[in-house]
Amino acid sequence: MGSRNPTARVTGLFLAGLLLGCSAGPRPFSVAPPVWTDDDRRPFQPRPEPSFVPLYWDGADQILFRPLARAFLLEEARDAVNVNALDEVPDSSWFTNRIGRRQMSAEEVARGACTRPSPEEDRPWKVAGAKLDGDNPGFQITTAAGINYLLKFDTPDQWERASSGDVVGSRLYHAAGFTVPCNRVVYFHSEELELPATEVKGPEGKPLTRKRIEEMLSKLPREKDGTVRAMASQFLPGKLLGPWYYSDRRGGDPNDVIEHQDRRELRGSRLLGAWINHHDARAQNTMAMWIEDGGGKGHVEHGLLDWGDTLGGLWWSDSFSRRVGYTYYIDFGAMGADFITFGAVTRPWEDATYGPAGQIFGYFDDAKFEPEDWHVGNPNPAFSAMQEADGAWMARIISRFDDAAVSAVVKEARLSSPIARSELERILKGRRDRILRRYLLRLSSLGQPTMEGQLLCLEDRAESVGLGAAPVPFARLWFSSTTAEELRVVRRGPGQLCIALPDLGAQQRVVDVSTGRRGQFPLRVYVLGGEAPRVVGLERPEGDLPPTG
């Protein structure tokens, strides 16, 4: 007879289903090779309409309108969509695997996206247009070889900081995998600039004449040889389509099928922003480019721009400058806490001071930097959607930037003060290390699997960057969700753990490999047996649980 208790029946069915699911064993991965290229560059027509984001609209949208519009949707956190079987992000029009997948020398990291000689070696320069937005003065130039650059200048109160931020930011983001312009520090004499034959209009409709340029440059510091320091940003290739958003999708682009906030590379870029305090990471500092493929068709590439706000930029208010990176520009949560406690809560920025380099880097430091608590200026949907797995993925990439690479990148900023150079290196290395301690030690830091016959080897990024060797590594070969065999783990070298697997036959099996670090979860490796066993999938579970059916 069936149970007369409906609750008992439901509970019984649930338990039966659970047991049946467990008896089925772990879910298999596809035996196809992992996807390393996202086919989102398929030519199409017509070209999408250009977009424009007003200066303050994105902030108002993210602070007020978007939260109100989505307040009753009851959205739940979800995993990033564009992740392959090895827990990595394939190449696409948004991202290209570089330092995370292959070794890059310090010189290659420091070179960034630059493939041509410096514009300093390509004179004369002709003024070709005005800088259309932003706080710092500047204008567009064309070099003797016909290459277009945007010339930007530092503010006198923090001379050399904004240009350094643009150089450092572009190098780090490029090596990490993003499309960025080639940004270089250059020096020039104002009299070397050539005006075009036709009048160039400024953003206010006023003609950009030599007199106006001289007035602009007269307020800037000069070097001992009379030259002026500037940052030259080479234009990205293609026809500009305007900014893209960190949320939703772009209308008119049939290749744009993933909600931007669900892209792991955009989520993970939150940690790159935290590293250099890129609080201005928003739509206005992005650019979509139309690349022509012939026959009237083309595709869209997605780039990032402008790191001039980074490395401790100061605002009009000292109290506001201190809060950058700790709260949103308009932070209702912080306001509420202050209201409830009558301002009695001690904030980490209240006793911040300038470092040994003085005002140039403002309050940019590593001592009180907490990566998990870092705030962009305006809420960023992709940053807000970042999950632990997305942060761990970016941390593995950031771990590839060794001290030599950081030093080489800072050298490209051409800072005149030795103290400023050493301080910037120290702070960047310190903030990098804090990111790694937070995001490399929770989910598994193991990766880069290789198979040599029956020998499975993995790299431990945490050990490779100096966070300590795996104390008690161990592995389990699962035959079902309730049956496992303990396997011996051996050290093959610094940061290298290897496991000799038994004959798996032609079946797909799950091997959990743990470092033995307290609080760090295992790496789940899916291995397909046979004559040449190979890894077909990786998972980083947020818990030490057996695989389920």
Question: What is the residue-wise DSSP string for 28-60?
Answer: PPPSSPPP-B------BSSPPPP----TTHHHH
Residue that wins the pLDDT comparison between 422 and 21 = 422
No. of helices (H) and no. of strands (E), the chain = 14, 18
pTM across the whole model: 0.91
The reported pLDDT for the residue numbered 69 is 63
Mean per-residue pLDDT for 5-25? 34
Residues 391-409 have pLDDT tens digits of 999 999 999 999 999 999 9
The reported pLDDT for the residue numbered 76 is 76
Residue 320 and residue 347 in contact, taking contact as beta carbons nearer than 8 Å: no
Average pLDDT, the chain: 89
The reported pLDDT for the residue numbered 61 is 67
Domains of the chain: 42-51+77-439 (no CATH), 446-539 (2.60.40)
SS3 418: helix
The pLDDT-based confidence of 329 (bands split at 50, 70, 90) is: confident
Residue 275 has pLDDT above 70, yes or no: yes
SS3 478: strand
Residue 218 has pLDDT above 90, yes or no: no
Task: Please report the sign of the dihedral spanned by the C-alpha atoms of residue 15, residue 17, residue 20, residue 26.
Answer: negative
Residues for the chain: how many in total? 549
Nearest-10 crossing angle of helices 264-276, 161-176:
150
Residue 174 and residue 160 in contact, taking contact as beta carbons nearer than 8 Å: no
Among 84-98, 250-264, 315-329, the least confident range: 315-329
Which H/E stretch holds residue 183?
Answer: strand 183-188
The reported pLDDT for the residue numbered 13 is 27
Mean per-residue pLDDT for 46-59? 78
Residues 335, 337, 341, CA angle at the centre, nearest 5°?
Answer: 120
Residue that wins the pLDDT comparison between 209 and 25 = 209
The reported pLDDT for the residue numbered 62 is 64
Q: Name the DSSP class of 503.
A: -
294-325 burial, b at 16+ Cβ within 10 Å, e below that, comes to: eeeebbbbbbbbbbbbbbbbbeeeeeebbbbb
The reported pLDDT for the residue numbered 3 is 37
Residue 135 has pLDDT above 80, yes or no: no
Chain-centre distance for alpha carbon 543: 25
pLDDT over 90, % of the chain: 74
Among 135-144, 202-211, 404-413, 481-490, the least confident range: 202-211
The reported pLDDT for the residue numbered 498 is 98
Residue 25 has pLDDT above 80, yes or no: no
Mean per-residue pLDDT for 475-492? 94
CA distance linking residue 392 with residue 414, whole number of Å: 32
Nearest-10 crossing angle of helices 418-439, 403-411:
140
The reported pLDDT for the residue numbered 335 is 64
The reported pLDDT for the residue numbered 216 is 83
Residues 337-351 have pLDDT tens digits of 666 766 667 788 889
